[in-house]
Amino acid sequence: MLMDFLFSDSIYWWLGGLLLWMALVLVCLYLIRWRYFPLAHKYAGWQREAQVIEVATHSALYNLPPAKATVYPFVTIVVPARNQVVHLERLLPCLLEQKYAGRFEVIVSDQLSTDETDELLQRLQVQYRSLRVTHVPQSSRHIELRKLAISLGIKAAHSEWVIVVNPETKPNNDRWLQHFAEHFLPEINFIEAYYNYESNGSQRARRAILERIYAFTNRLEAYEEGIVLGSEMSNYAVRRSWFLEQRGFADSLLLPFGEEALLAFHHVPPECCTMLCSEDTRLTEQLPTVGVLKMRRVMDAEVKRRLRGVSWRTSYRWKFATMLFHLFALSFVTYALLRTLQLIQTATYDLNWIYLDLIALLLFGIFLFLPAYCLRRSLQALGEATYGPYLFFYECFRPWYSLGVSIQRFLHRKEFVRKYLCQAVER
């Protein structure tokens, strides 16, 4: 019966309709997802232009009399840490030796560390006068330690602007703080800057880096539509007075993670937020172990589930685009399989098919090339390597990755709620 269909008169028009469907799928993929891939390149360009203007403006103002000149704001960098002495020994000199035109301080907010963190901090405080230390109280039981450490660090800050940096990250250059501070504007309360894992060329690193790039692109897409869709847990800045007015991380006390994402989603309007995409304001994070990466994916999935309302639009749109991606791949495989069966049976090539075959090859070439091309400029702006064909393989296996994360999130669901806090709230 299949052979009868292959050599019937309707097969030509049926396959032509299949190619038309594939073309429509490509258009939908571009409109739904691929056209948003260059957003990081666009925002990075705007950021570089703003930096040039800022530097030129301040250079001119520095030549004015002191009474009329303006200076860069005083900035506090908060580093929440727990038993991470190796990371702190690597990070703190990079922060404390930043070339910044204004004044700044670094506060390490210790979360009851039991390693040599205290000895390291005491030694560095002798060398760097701008290093300060605060400790989470020993009696702290009702608030997750990292939330409390960040909150205490922000409260202890001597400045209005506070940047939160995790110990396992590191600035790419000694002008990171300078470029970051150039975006502390009067109308802004929250700033998220891009950061990602270091690349060691492994499959694990490529997947982890690309996942974070996709998540950041998703937040840029939402930002374009007037939605602040959460935030990552490092390399972000808050205005101290605004943070205290919002009662800090009060919205996420029952969840032992995701405090930054929930704070940004619930309290930051897009007009009071800035997203930085330039390599100048980027941090690089040491690649964690496989187990840590798996747990982070599970936590990210749980946080996304809690970002209710209009934020779901972008999430479902990306899922729909993933479905279209696989439908196109399945359609092309169907076309190629039917044409191969025809050629095997006839043992000759009919020139009447040349136009359809060329169109099929053209569509498949666009399918492979266009997303990589759209993402390439953003990857360059973010300081990442261009992954080329790996992007295609990642998209192919992405539903299986998501299914695995969903299963793990279901298995760990009881760990996401702090039960004794829930009981205290009910009372």
Q: How does pLDDT run across 161-173, given as a tens digit for each residue?
A: 999 999 999 998 9
- Across the range 71-78, mean pLDDT stands at 90
Q: How confident is the model at residue 367 (pLDDT cuts 50, 70, 90)?
A: very high
Q: What is the pLDDT of residue 422?
A: 40
Q: How confident is the model at residue 256 (pLDDT cuts 50, 70, 90)?
A: confident
Residue 58 has pLDDT above 90, yes or no: no
Strands 195-197 and 104-110: unpaired
Give Cα separations from 260 to 150, 176, 188, 293, 389 (angstroms). Answer: 10, 21, 16, 18, 33
Name the residue with higher pLDDT: 118 or 70. 118
Q: How confident is the model at residue 347 (pLDDT cuts 50, 70, 90)?
A: confident
Average pLDDT over the chain, rounded to an integer = 85
Note the Cα 225 to chain centre separation in Å.
17
- Look at the alpha carbons of 125, 129, 131, 134 in this order and tell me if their dihedral is positive or negative: positive
Residue 243 has pLDDT above 70, yes or no: yes
Strands 104-110 and 131-135: parallel
Residues 59, 53: Cα–Cα separation, whole Å: 10
Percentage of the chain with pLDDT > 70? 88
- Eight-class DSSP state of 384: P
Q: Which long-range contacts (CB under 8 A, 24 or more apart) does 88-92 make?
A: 88/117, 88/120, 88/121, 88/167, 89/120, 90/170, 91/165, 91/167, 91/168, 91/169, 91/170, 92/124, 92/128, 92/131
- Across the range 395-421, mean pLDDT stands at 80
